[in-house]
Structure 1
């Protein structure tokens, strides 16, 4: 996601490296690179022109900050302008006192609208909001069956009357059912078309008039670039929408949709889909997206994802085991599975500041290393997983594990050796001897370590701390946070 845009912007910063200050002459090359980067990302032309003009104005009028180089200061300016371009702040989903809150989902076929409905329902359920999904798409084959299947998967009820019923009747009876059952939020999955047509808009307008939704969310494919913004504007003019959900943002998207939707349509992006799994929906935060685009990572989203998966009672037990050097292979396996639940290794690493430059081959190698380690651990006996020291002095045990996992003896020996080093290092970090030290040699960067509050201490970031990037102003943690990190943190991922 945004790799090409990030690489292009990297070229813009290089134009200012080695300069004493930002001036009208030396900024032109950097601005030219920014303009090319945005155009290649399929950002709307008018948006690009205005953005570059705003950056130029801010850069030329910026005061020189002592200790900050021109390229760092320029990055900060671009970051702030990107945030403003995408909407400044997150716009939360509406929630009203008089239940139910009604959310109408709209969009063309192929954008992932039905899946997005289920993803949104799961997201709201995690916020303790009980939902009902209404299957009002009677035109697309298997649309109702798809929503029913997703509903069972996430344990959210689906109201449907079959493909022969009229959409208005389905919505009317579904809303009555929701009121009778005391449902908090109703999500209406409407029919899409291959293209915008009068029949589609008329039916959608009728459903909107009947349901009186508090939110009308348009689901658009991020891979369509600036066309997603144009589509959002058209729907808003015809129907009146309150926001957009960008899907497929984890694919080979150039970023134009995320940067164009707010400016062109006037409506905010409220959620983004970042994967095929039903859990892969995130609220859209302009500042976090800007950080990802500029290679700063996204520690806050990473922390939130971890908090959803962490069992805090287990985290406390694990903290004690780390301090006493009792961390074993079972604990290691649990941490690997925790990371899997949080998403792909590549997706997680891209959220860690400084890790955005990892190549696809490096990430694939890391994934393979984790699978190999898991295979070898699964070939150990229960006693061996609980007492890793048994393997250090027993070549016969290691040989048996290697045969069971289809690996070489050297692979198992390296795993055991690296694990012992990691366990010792974790204990030292827990005692504050090596705060902030990153990486677990030979373990593919996999630590799965926890801070004292049950939040993975990844990338040196603490909850609420702004992700840092090359020391630009505002990136350094406060003295209080440094103190807390030394006291609680067990190192970086």
Structure 2
């Protein structure tokens, strides 16, 4: 994945230094050289790299540090802060507001992925409650309107374009006027690709901008552009004065550092990263979260948002969550959980969001993992409705069903048995969750009215009977007691630790509810174990 090697090299350089027994100025200089070499090989502009190195050395000033200072901690913080500064232009991007028409115009080079990005962006805002629409003002490229039309229909987004009108200014103006009249919240205008040598097309771009008067112009940059990113982005900035950047094709193997150079050259924020070809493959860009992922610190807030986007309108996930809270877990619930995991993207994408996991999964193959999950779906698809809605005991009572499912899915009897075994494990967990939920409801009911002290004592007695707290003072299954859970909630909602993500007072109850439907993902984790065995 783009920038993955960069992150690995920087992370290794910092880790080697902090693990070193003899932390001296030579080791510090070696670390800086390795970080700079990694940035240069990733196509980051040489002036930026020199400036970064000088800033880190000035901040740390190794030779004059007093003995009592924690040098390792100080170096880690300096590297983190300066990498954040490298990709952070300290400029706030435009944010569309509901209840008024927000026009967004997309510009960029040919082949940067503007049309696909337009649909991704429209879907992003649509899933957040904004009425969105697309206007195709690319009358130059053959098939541009057909591509936008197909994407818009697939994403269920209204669109406007013309197969007969060749003037993009007219098409853009008419489309925006129509959707403004219909009171759409976000209107995204797709335009033709162009580069700074094409003076006529640059003039056309300014005419479209004048005609639609966008609230924001976004430059779409291909991550493979390399060192040319700075020159091209500066030319677009001078002509169209864009206010944000979206970097596409970050799932490839390009260096990608040129796009970072464009941020410094134009003092314009990156707002999204395109991470694949599917409509969901658009990640919000946050400088701190980006550097945290580079350094293997993870991006928990990004993971939560990713899960929220997937489970937003899924009736099946909501039904699965109801089942789990009631202590029920059918094979159909298991299938829905596996499907949700597959929608979340490849292992490499998720591992970057979870602290420490990117290092553990560095050698794992996304293709093997996705194949394992697909084979599990084949097994489910070969089951009857009665089997899917059962608790799995039907296969124990009638073993011939296992052979039939294996033959129908083109898999082995062993794979069917493994799947049923994983399901039994998850069903046992769901039963525990259901039982604990009932105990909690009883405890809450006891607190309504009456003597609070007596009720609290009774609740504590009931909680102790639930878990046989003993010395550990915990609930069954390793679930922490109420005091520990309260501390965990406070930690999540309080200020983030240095260099780690801060959820900023997020509604934890809502987050847990949304992620509840993916509890079977833990079972998928069991499947993940199967993945490891498969290799």
1:301-340 deviation per Cα after TM superposition (whole angstroms, max 9, x unaligned): 1211211222688667645644665322111101111223
Cα distance between partner residues in 1 of 2:315 and 2:204: 51
Query: Contact 1:296–1:467 (CA<8 Å) still a contact in 2?
Result: no
**Higher helix fraction (1 or 2):** 2
Name which of structure 1's ranges 41-50 and 9-18 shifts more when overlaid on structure 2: 9-18
How has the CA–CA distance of structure 1 residues 223 and 426 changed in structure 2, closer, same or farther, with 3 Å as cutoff?
farther
Residues 7-406 of structure 1: pairs in structure 2 closer than 5 A: 7-19=8-20, 23-60=24-61, 70=72, 74-87=75-88, 91-95=92-96, 99-193=100-194, 196-310=197-311, 318-319=320-321, 321-322=323-324, 325-357=327-359, 358-359=361-362, 361-385=364-388, 386-392=390-396, 394-406=398-410
How has the CA–CA distance of structure 1 residues 138 and 382 changed in structure 2, closer, same or farther, with 3 Å as cutoff?
closer
Give yes or no for the alignment of 1:416 onto 2:441. no
Q: Secondary structure at the match of 1:236?
A: helix
Name which of structure 1's ranges 306-315 and 29-38 shifts more when overlaid on structure 2: 306-315
What is aligned with 2:458?
none
How has the CA–CA distance of structure 1 residues 318 and 433 changed in structure 2, closer, same or farther, with 3 Å as cutoff?
farther
Q: Secondary structure at the match of 1:356?
A: helix
Q: Secondary structure at the match of 2:365?
A: helix
Q: What TM-score, normalized to structure 1?
A: 0.82
Unpaired segments of 5 or more residues in structure 1?
438-451, 453-459
1:41 Cα shift?
0.9
Q: Secondary structure at the match of 1:115?
A: helix
Query: Contact 1:43–1:226 (CA<8 Å) still a contact in 2?
Result: yes
1:410-462 deviation per Cα after TM superposition (whole angstroms, max 9, x unaligned): 2222222233234335655785434489xxxxxxxxxxxxxx9xxxxxxx999
Cα distance between partner residues in 2 of 1:461 and 1:196: 56
1:223-277 deviation per Cα after TM superposition (whole angstroms, max 9, x unaligned): 2133223321121123322121111112113230343222122111122211111
1:148 Cα shift?
2.1
Cα distance between partner residues in 2 of 1:26 and 1:286: 27
Q: Secondary structure at the match of 2:355?
A: coil
Cα distance between partner residues in 1 of 2:333 and 2:17: 47
What is aligned with 1:407?
411
1:35 Cα shift?
0.7
Number of residue equivalences: 467
What is aligned with 1:440?
none
What is aligned with 1:446?
none
Cα distance between partner residues in 2 of 1:165 and 1:74: 58
1:205 Cα shift?
1.6
Q: Secondary structure at the match of 2:17?
A: coil
Unpaired segments of 5 or more residues in structure 2?
437-474, 526-535
Query: Contact 1:94–1:214 (CA<8 Å) still a contact in 2?
Result: no
Cα distance between partner residues in 2 of 1:121 and 1:230: 28
Residues 440-455 of structure 1: pairs in structure 2 closer than 5 A: none
Larger radius of gyration: 2
1:475 Cα shift?
7.4
How has the CA–CA distance of structure 1 residues 330 and 465 changed in structure 2, closer, same or farther, with 3 Å as cutoff?
farther
Query: Contact 1:261–1:269 (CA<8 Å) still a contact in 2?
Result: no
How has the CA–CA distance of structure 1 residues 230 and 371 changed in structure 2, closer, same or farther, with 3 Å as cutoff?
same
Cα distance between partner residues in 1 of 2:302 and 2:136: 31
Query: Contact 2:328–2:430 (CA<8 Å) still a contact in 1?
Result: no
Cα distance between partner residues in 2 of 1:176 and 1:476: 41
Q: Secondary structure at the match of 1:272?
A: strand
Query: Contact 2:346–2:366 (CA<8 Å) still a contact in 1?
Result: no
Q: CA RMSD in A?
A: 3.9
Give yes or no for the alignment of 1:433 onto 2:473. no
Cα distance between partner residues in 1 of 2:263 and 2:109: 19
Q: What TM-score, normalized to structure 2?
A: 0.76
How has the CA–CA distance of structure 1 residues 391 and 117 changed in structure 2, closer, same or farther, with 3 Å as cutoff?
same
How has the CA–CA distance of structure 1 residues 391 and 55 changed in structure 2, closer, same or farther, with 3 Å as cutoff?
farther
1:300 Cα shift?
1.3
What is aligned with 2:467?
none
Cα distance between partner residues in 1 of 2:129 and 2:122: 11
Cα distance between partner residues in 1 of 2:327 and 2:99: 54
1:206 Cα shift?
1.8
1:347 Cα shift?
2.3
1:21 Cα shift?
7.7
Query: Contact 1:121–1:187 (CA<8 Å) still a contact in 2?
Result: yes
Cα distance between partner residues in 2 of 1:67 and 1:426: 49
Query: Contact 1:102–1:187 (CA<8 Å) still a contact in 2?
Result: yes
1:9-60 deviation per Cα after TM superposition (whole angstroms, max 9, x unaligned): 1331243144468543321111111011101111111111111222223334
